[in-house]
Structures are given as structure tokens and as C-alpha cells.
Homo-oligomer: A and B are copies of this chain.
Amino acid sequence: MRQSQLFTKTRRDAPKDEVAKNAQLLIRAGFIHKEMAGVYSYLPLGLRVLNNIIKIIREEMNAIGGQELLMTTLQSPNIWKKSDRWRDDAIDVWFKTELQGGGELGLATTHEEPIAAIMAEYISSYKDLPRYAYHFQTKFRNELRAKSGIMRTREFIMKDLYSFSRSDMEFRTFYEACAGAYKKIFDRAGIGSATYRTFASGGSFSKYSDEFQSICEAGEDTIYVDEKKKVAVNKEVYTDEVLADLGLKKDELVEKKAIEVGNIFPLGTRFSDALGVRFKDEGGTAVAPVMGSYGIGPGRLMGAIVEILADEKGIVWPRGVSPFPVHLISITGGNPSVVQEADRLYELLAENDIEALYDDRDLRAGEKFAESDLVGIPTRLVVSEKTVSEGGAEISQRSGGTKLVSDSIVVEELIEKQRT
């Protein structure tokens, strides 16, 4: 896409009330727009990143047998009263609203009840199980405070998957498969090495649940990391008893601030019981399936990537989520043959299915480079009088390193990068 056509521009300053680094950088670079505290629109560059993250998550959920649906955000009290979670003291972040004709509605904060109500219509026999259903849907949470940019918002898209299994063992097998899928997701999103599977409270159904926590000073959580074993323990369950249970030693653990980028949670039969999901087992007995829930917020993940990887010049996108794989920059100095050469390279990339952001604007080199650093596309291609006279373009990485190469090598290198 030609940057002269893009409707956003970079800005020198973020709004004064914006305290989070992720939102400051994303607003300055034109990725998001702040509607109000805790509510952000995604502008074209931001939506591209969000969609890249969603695509990664979708592929990994499909790979473990997930079936995608789309449940609603408007919620009738009926099903939530069955599980006793309509009460504001059971879920303390409900937004409630009202029908014109009378009758209260809620905006979904989570979807255990609606998915169980749907499954109750389709599950009747052990042959109908196991089932794994997920969706990407806006969640609303009436947070009292919102101060972590796009990492804790009042409106956000969430991927939540729900599993329905015939037995604890079948449930645990899927639970581990999903933990494996989550590891792949965070690897592909570029923060795998900073992310630890973390023991957390399991609520009333299980000893533990598992969080995926990414080490970051801006995180709201405190965890204790065993770097050798590549696991961590959330402060909320950090007791001598738990450590003994997990075989971890206090002096091998390091305290860190971290961002919860995902969680997987055993639900037992709490919701299948409450919503009347039953299957006949092979002996003909009616049994409630064992459920689990598995969440990742693509927006929070995007915020975490910015927090963890940004440097003093701006955002640094990993290749897998970058809005464009390459930022093509022309430094023309008013020379039409440089424009022509940059245009030609832009077309050549497109012909090879490499969609570049092409800074074709009439700006000074220093300005273009500073903006490009802020926007954070991993690979930069510069076409200038100098590179044209030397017969090629300059290719450099946002994370460092520059070299002069010919057009054909540029294309080859980029195709190779897309593959890996």
C-alpha cells in the first residue's frame, strides 16, 4: 500500500492521559485511536496486526480440533441465572442494559453459559463427544480502572475455546494439547522466549489452572520463574505447600512482573450441570461432560508484543504479526529516475505476493526513517540516488544491520523470510 494513500499519519505525541507505553506508541504510530479510557479503535495498520494474531490463533485452534462459531454479546438473564452468575457479586464487571419493551440484558464478559446451552441441544450420546468449540468475539468488562493501554480494556476481542469431554482423562489430554498449541501461538507471535506456563489458582474445580505469563515490567501480575524448568508460579498460589507439591525450590525461583497473555482453566461439570448438558455413556447412564475453557485476547497479546519488544525508537514487530512484511522507502531528492526505480521495485514485490508499505511521500529522509522506526516493520528497503547508482536497494532490519543488494536478491530474501 502506498503510504501517501493511507489515511493515518504518525503523531509526535500521544494523548496526555495515556500512561501505558503500548498505547502511547500505538497511538503515535497510527495503529489505534483512543475513544475513551479503556476503549480503543483499531486503525488500518493496527487492524492488520490484530488480524495477523487472530489468524495465528485460529490456525492453531483448528489444528487441535477446534470448531469456530460466533456467539452473541447480548445476553439474556435466563441462562446466567441457572449458573447463578447474573448477580453483580458473581461477575463484578457486567455491563447491563435494557430492552425497549422491558427486560434486562447483559453484555457478555465470557461465554461458558451460552456455549453450554448450545451444546445441550447437540450432545446426547457419548458418540457426540469430545467437542471443542471456540469463537473470536467482543467481550465487555466494566472495569473500574483501565490503565494498561490495550492490555486491559472495557471492550476487546477474545478467543475463548470450550472443551466438552467424556472423562477427566479425555479432558486432561485435550488440556495438554491446548497448552502445546498456546506455546506455538506465543512462539509465532514473537514472544515465546519471554512466556512461561505458570501455575495459578484452579478455583473450586481443580488444584491449578495454567496461565501463560510473559515477563515484562509493565505486567500487572507477579510470578516466580524457574528458568531451568521453564515454568513459573503465580504469586496467588506461591506457598511452601504448593512449591512442595510442584517439586519447585524457593531458591531456584526468581520474582518477575509479567503479563497474562493466555490461560487454560478446568471447569469440571459446574456449567454442564447448571445448563443441563448430558450424554448417555456406553452403559446408558446420563453423565455431565467435563468442561474446560481456554482464552487468549489478541489485543492484549498485541499490547504485550509492543511492551516487550519496543526499543527507544519505537515499535519492533516480529515478522509473524507485522502489518506489512516490508517497508519500502524512496528517498528521491526530486529525481524522477529514483521514483521510477522505487515504483518498479514496489510492483516487483507485489508480483511476488509481497505486500509492501511503500513510503512514496515527498518528505525528508530523516523524517521517513524516524517514522519507519516508530512504525516498526521488521524489514526496510531504501531506494535512493545512491542505491540506484550502485545498482540496487538497501535492505536493513529494524533490529539492526544494513546491506546493499540487487532487486532480485531483495525479492529472494523476502520470499525466503516469508517461508520461515
Chain A residues with CB under 8 Å of chain B are: 5-9, 11, 33, 35-36, 39-44, 46-47, 50, 65, 67-76, 93, 95-101, 105, 107, 114, 118-119, 121-123, 128, 131, 133, 138, 140, 142-144, 154-155
Contacts and interface: CB of A to CB of B under 8 A. Distances in A.
Contacts of A8: 122
B96 A97 contact: yes
A96 B98 CA distance: 8
A10 to B, nearest CB: 11
Given A69-B42, A118-B33, A144 B75 contact: no
Nearest to A88: B100
Contacts of A44: 67-69
Q: Which of A67, A93, A100, A143 has the most CB of B within 10 A?
A: A100
Given A97-B96, A101-B144, A138-B138, A72 B7 contact: no
A119 B7 contact: yes
Given A44-B68, A97-B97, 12 more contacts: A5-B67, A8-B122, A39-B72, A41-B69, A41-B71, A41-B72, A42-B69, A43-B69, A46-B69, A47-B69, A93-B100, A100-B143
Contacts of A46: 69-70
A107 B97 contact: yes
A347 B123 CA distance: 28
Given A33-B121, A122-B8, A122-B9, A138 B73 contact: yes
Contacts of A154: 74, 99
A278 to B, nearest CB: 15
Contacts of A107: 97, 107
B97 A70 contact: no
Contacts of A5: 65, 67
Contacts of A99: 142, 154
A283 B107 CA distance: 50
A154 B99 CA distance: 10
